[in-house]
Amino acid sequence: MNTGNTKVMNRFDITSRLIAKLQHEEAVIGGIGNTNFDLWAAGHRPQNFYMLGSMGLAFPIALGVALAQPDRRVFALEGDGSLLMQLGALSTIAALKPKNLIMIVMDNGIYQITGAQPTPAAGVADIVAIATGSGLANSAWAADEEDFERLVEEAMSASEPSLIAVRIDDKPGVGTTRRDPVQIRERFMHGLGVREPL
Amino acid sequence: MAIAEQQAQGTSDRSWHGIVLQTLKRNEISLIPYVPDRVLTPLIKNLHANPFFTTFATAREEEAVGIVSGAWMGGRRGAVLMQTSGFATLANVLASLAVPYQIPLIMFVSERGTLGEFNYGQSLVCRTMRPVLDSLALEHHTITRLDELEFIADRSIKQAVTTQAPVALILNPLLTGGKVFDQ
């Protein structure tokens, strides 16, 4: 893995730094498990969507939002184990080139939530190399927190989809998302301006 | 030539695929991710050729379900095209995304595995489809007749949207001609 120069960061800290940068009602899709737990813990926003299943679909769901609302930036937060389930989605996104889609991969090399078992990719595969090879040229490892913030800022005005990979520690999520799928979906649609509250 | 074959090869709007395309358009369904199938080829080709639609292949069917689910929440309607064997990969995403989040997922499934199937695996996987749909109490219709296609498709799409529930429209070989051994 070509990640030797990247600092091991923390998912909740990185997620909080991302949320602090959002000023234009950007959509954020949180992948299954710790990824959306930390999105929830960073402070609920109406434009947040939390996955309670369908492992691996954070990027496809975000792609759908990005295609529906091309003028809104759409972030997707996904774990490395989840991404491994749906690597083909990277090529789909590369082919469609939605410039408003920004993918963030939280890579700790383990299935933390199920008992910290290593993923098959741990120690052998490079997420950014996979993304680049899938056609996503604008993919990079964040070297540290400041570099992550810089990459997010660049992605905000990029002319093609962006992928930012972050090495993270083995800590669990800080909070637990309230598991009410209909409420999550309805609030998200309100947040995107698709529906008005009753 | 069998009626079904004439329908499958026709290019007029009254072919099965012409009716599906027009019904999608009338219901403002413009995002069409698919995993291809031989029988669906004329529909896919005509969708690609029509600028109203954003039509593209995905690597897996569940990826396509994720895409149209996100699009729905963002205010754009979509539908997924697949084959029977592709539907068999969807139980988890149906049970953990489309159904619990109440998303009107519209699926068109080209039915293989029956009425002249030559691949044993296809005939077996076909038998899993309706039990999976029934186990989640999902609305599904098997369309066998050209004269019923527009009614079933149009009403089912409208019902999916208004009741916020998924629907599977199964395109039977009696409608499409299906795939036979020499093709």
Kindly give the confidence (pLDDT) of every residue in chain B, 183 residues in length, as a single tens digit, with 9 standing for 90 and above.
445 554 444 455 799 999 999 999 999 999 999 999 999 999 999 999 999 999 999 999 999 999 999 999 999 999 999 999 999 999 999 999 999 999 999 999 999 999 999 999 999 999 999 999 999 999 999 999 999 999 999 999 999 999 999 999 999 999 999 988 765
Determine the Cα–Cα distance for residues A15 and A22; give it in Å rounded to an integer: 11
Contact assignment for B73 to A88 by CB distance below 8 Å: no
Closest residue in B to A94 (Cα–Cα): B58
pLDDT digits (tens, 9 = 90+) for A16-46: 999 999 999 999 999 999 999 999 999 999 9
Q: Does residue A63 surpass a pLDDT of 80?
A: yes
The pTM of the full predicted model, rounded to 2 decimals, is 0.95
Closest residue in B to A92 (Cα–Cα): B58
Look up residue B11 and give its two tokens: 């290019």
| In contact, A133 and A157? CB cutoff 8 Å | no
> Which whole-number Å values give the CA distances from A88 to A83, A147, B58, in the listed order?
9, 27, 8
Query: Smallest Cα–Cα separation from A48: which of A146, A178, A174?
Result: A178
* B100/A contact by beta carbon, under 8 A: yes
Contact assignment for A192 to B75 by CB distance below 8 Å: yes
> Which whole-number Å values give the CA distances from B136 to A53, A100, A114, B90, B129, in the listed order?
16, 35, 26, 12, 11
Question: Which DSSP string do the residues of B119-137 spell out, in sequence order?
Answer: -HHHHHHHHHHHHHHHHTT
Cβ-nearest to B62 among A57, A68, A72: A57
Q: Which residues have CB under 8 Å from B40's CB, separation 6+? A: B17, B34, B81, B83, B108, B110, B171
